[in-house]
Structure 1
């Protein structure tokens, strides 16, 4: 371990799929700066968001705890100030206690808006509005148009992501040691890259969605419910031409953020202690993007829950390597505190020790999600070896996939491999039982409810008028 404290920089995107990095196998996408990070350290190719939706995933990052511990299993906009009593100090506060100056630039997604997350400096949407006079959310049409391909009408040099980067570069350049989180909004919808990134990809050259039998794709009732919410089409009836065009804009957002990440890397590399700077790049969850006849996140298909996860620390960690062990966003807390010299793994594993051969890998990985206020819709995932088990409380449905033979999750083997299904089902029930989650499991069994159709309504943030002419009044 180096004699001086290393800097620690977390770089986070929102809703970025695991298969969107050129250096990790996607030859159609342009990500030269994320590729620089791939070569700078270790790429974890089996990394997961343990609750694949925005607020719970970010609470996991800041607490190092799973959703069943934080109590946030869905996007509830409720006060999270009590989480430090339940989980211990937030990550930024823990790093400040270890002698770091701390900063957050960009999205934090916690309530209330003035919540104290432990940062010395926090620059988010409110500061951007004061500096520029622009609203983050007015750069594109939202509501019922949120998933349609669009263009950011702000110049690339003055949009929110540029502002985030400008401020982050300045903070990286100050005296260390620092712990910083730079949190970008894209590629989250609206899919509105700035020019020229909005015309960077030809939709005809991009692959179409991965779709299987609808009984498998829509076993989780939340997927068709979300389709209606976003597209007014429960069955995911979006034609392939539209899917490819949306994907072109989604890729454009990733390439635009990649350009910003290049400036962050240049800022780190200009420091004398660049080799002793830890950088973690990750996303909070993925995006179905038409796969499995679905959109958005919250499901446990790979497109939704598996994320890019890169760890680099040239002074301590091998460079340019791939690691296939099971990794979770819970592990980030331990990465930062281990680098600080005072490890606190919370509910994660020791990734730095694992890649250096000093700690055991994770045997089994769990994931959970529940959308608040709907019919019983709790879902759980267990990943062990090449097997993935998914349980859906609504209807008591379950699925089993062999990711080695079926990486696109098209064939449900839960009936064909009853022993494996039972083994992973019982593992999920034991864990939930041990955590006292009697709403999900009791006496060693997962709770099941009769199937109910879920209605999430439509996403229309500004109601349509009764008469078209009313908007002109």
Structure 2
């Protein structure tokens, strides 16, 4: 009898171990939740810097997982960054070099590959290019930039408008999908993509009431004079004093702008106009007194005091939108914890690029300088990542696609150009071999007037080449100049560093199949299409 029972036990174990049904698949193949905000500066996450805002829910991902301190993008502008993430290819390969050019839909994206491999896939929030993303069982995405209040969404079956605040709504959509349409027999990949904190920075009522009362520390380089960078940083049109619109960006009413005879103001009416009567009443109760106070003070303001006023208003609204992002990330993480979804799920928090919060006097992004180039990256993966780990290796958004594919045990296409982060996530740094990362920005002449440039960054140095209408090189020594205000390219003491960095840059351009010839082809194509003129 004992022998019989033993034989039966062995048979049951054999049968169970051979089972390939859904339950076993779910346990073996991790779920993936990719959380991305738009223009979220790493300086505005308290895991990186506590001076501006507390973000306990986003920080929680780092506390339970890994914080990357040298994560960056390949092209700091919204749609190209998203194309790089989806394809695992640099902009010049996937074709989406700027916000103007169309996305080549023949590109194979990692969601397509995951869906084909049996993952249930969903996307909610801001994609920013195309209205029919491939590789998703379900999507509800904002058209273009989308709106903060009462936003419209594009779905596979038509458009719909939802009353409320966009960050809350995107989270509602994700949780509703978890609750009502998630297939428990499949692993899932969710892309949960926030509009915030993209311009024009309209916080939720609960946050603008709070944040408009706050004052924030000034960045050290707020009044940067661009000495040693006159022909590159100097001409950029994203200075808070000169280029940030009082009405469009900072919510000054049209009537007060006209009353004060302020030139070059741009109305925000089309966005304020989306507020219903209840929302508008609450909005006016807070912003009208701010505007009236500004009208009283404006005649006595000089450039310095106006710059500081604009910076503070910018931070109040920008950071107010992030407060809602942090709350809603917490809502999603709590839901996953409460419904036993966290244990087998890789969670990523990032932004499509960095952003200037007054550094160098700027808002916006585009440059290869740190605040634009570097991006937040926090990842948790229970039982794989050691909680509370900080990782200093240089990684890029180029690496996400191959990371997710390896996590899902899907072979990445040969033409993907990134490197899977899995060795770093597992603490196997000996398997990681990257000395520098490559960057290339194309959108010029265009909004904000940031010149075309490419470059290489290592942990120690950054070498940038500006081209098209200039031919200027810049070198920054991060150990001596962390704020990147002193271009030492022409300093004889750095001659050997320049030679070494140029050689590394040549190697990276060859590795990633970029070249001057390709740059010229893009320029000629755009001239022929009338997108740029001499």
TM category, shorter:
0.7 to 0.9
- CA displacement, residues 279-321 of structure 1 (integer Å, 9 cap, x when unaligned): 0100001222332132211111111111100111012111111
Q: Distance in 1 between matches of 2:42 and 2:396?
A: 13
Among candidates 218, 223, 236, match of residue 224 of structure 1: 236
Are 2:495 and 1:418 aligned?
Answer: yes
**Structure 1 residue 196: Cα displacement:** 2.4
Pairing 1:274–2:342 present = yes
Structure 1 residues 412 and 309, CA gap change in structure 2 (3 angstroms): same
Question: Does the 8 A contact of 2:478 with 2:484 survive in 1?
Answer: yes
Matched, 1:391 2:429: no
1:160 and 1:376, CA in 2 relative to 1: closer, same or farther beyond 3 A? closer
Question: Could you say which residue in structure 1 is the equivalent of 2:281?
Answer: none
Distance 1:218 1:181, change over 3 A: farther
Shift of 1:440: 6.0
Q: Secondary structure at the match of 1:196?
A: helix
Residues in 1 aligned to 2:33 and 2:92: alpha-carbon distance in whole angstroms: 27
Matched, 1:379 2:449: no
Q: Secondary structure at the match of 2:193?
A: strand
Q: Which runs of 5+ in 1 are unaligned?
A: 138-153, 448-454, 458-473
2:479 counterpart SS class: coil
Inter-CA distance 317–214: structure 2 relative to 1 (3 Å threshold): same
Partner of 1:469: none
State the match for 1:291 in structure 2: 359
RMSD: 3.3
* Contact kept? 2:65, 2:386, Cα under 8 Å: yes
Task: Kindly indicate whether the alpha-carbon contact (under 8 Å) linking 1:209 and 1:243 is maintained by their aligned counterparts in 2.
Answer: no
Structure-2 residue corresponding to 1:407 = 482
Count of matched residue pairs: 418
Counterpart selection for 1:215 from 223, 227, 247: 227
Are 1:22 and 2:46 counterparts? yes
Query: What do the CA deviations read for 1:417-454 (whole angstroms, capped 9, x no partner)?
Result: 12212322333234335625333679xxxx9xxxxxxx
| CA displacement 1:105-158 (0-9 Å, x = unmatched) | 0111123x23x42111011136999xx993459xxxxxxxxxxxxxxxx99x82
The Cα shift of 1:260 comes to 0.8
- Deviations 1:182-210 (Å, cap 9, x if unpaired)? 00001111111012211434453333462
Q: Give the conservation status (yes or no) of the 8 Å contact 1:381–1:388.
A: yes
Residue 41 of structure 1 deviates from its aligned partner by 0.6
Pick one of 107, 117, 124 that aligns with 1:105.
Answer: 124
Is 1:204 matched with 2:215?
yes
Q: Post-superposition shift, 1:357?
A: 3.9
Q: Which has the larger radius of gyration?
A: 2
Q: 2-side partners of 1:378 and 1:425: how far apart?
A: 18
Mean Cα deviation higher: 185-194 or 222-231: 222-231
Q: Which residue of 1 aligns with 2:274?
A: none
Q: What do the CA deviations read for 1:387-412 (whole angstroms, capped 9, x no partner)?
A: 11111113211211122332211221
Question: Compared with structure 1, are the counterparts of its residues 274 and 133 closer, same or farther at alpha carbon in structure 2 (3 Å cutoff)?
Answer: closer
Distance 1:242 1:351 in 2: 40
Deviation by residue 1:318-344 (Cα, 9 ceiling, x = unmatched): 111111110100111122111102252
Q: Does 1:428 align with 2:493?
A: no
Distance 2:408 2:391 in 1: 23
Match of 2:370 in 1: 302
Matched, 1:367 2:436: no
Do 2:385 and 2:425's aligned partners in 1 also have CA atoms closer than 8 Å? yes
Residues 365 and 382 in structure 1, CA contact (< 8 A), matched pair in contact too: yes
TM-score (norm 1): 0.80
Equivalent residue for 1:120?
Answer: 137
- Match 1:182 to one of 192, 195, 198: 192
> Is contact 1:187–1:253 with CA below 8 Å preserved after alignment?
yes
Matched-pair contact (CA < 8 Å) for 2:35–2:192: yes
Q: Distance in 2 between matches of 1:136 and 1:165?
A: 15
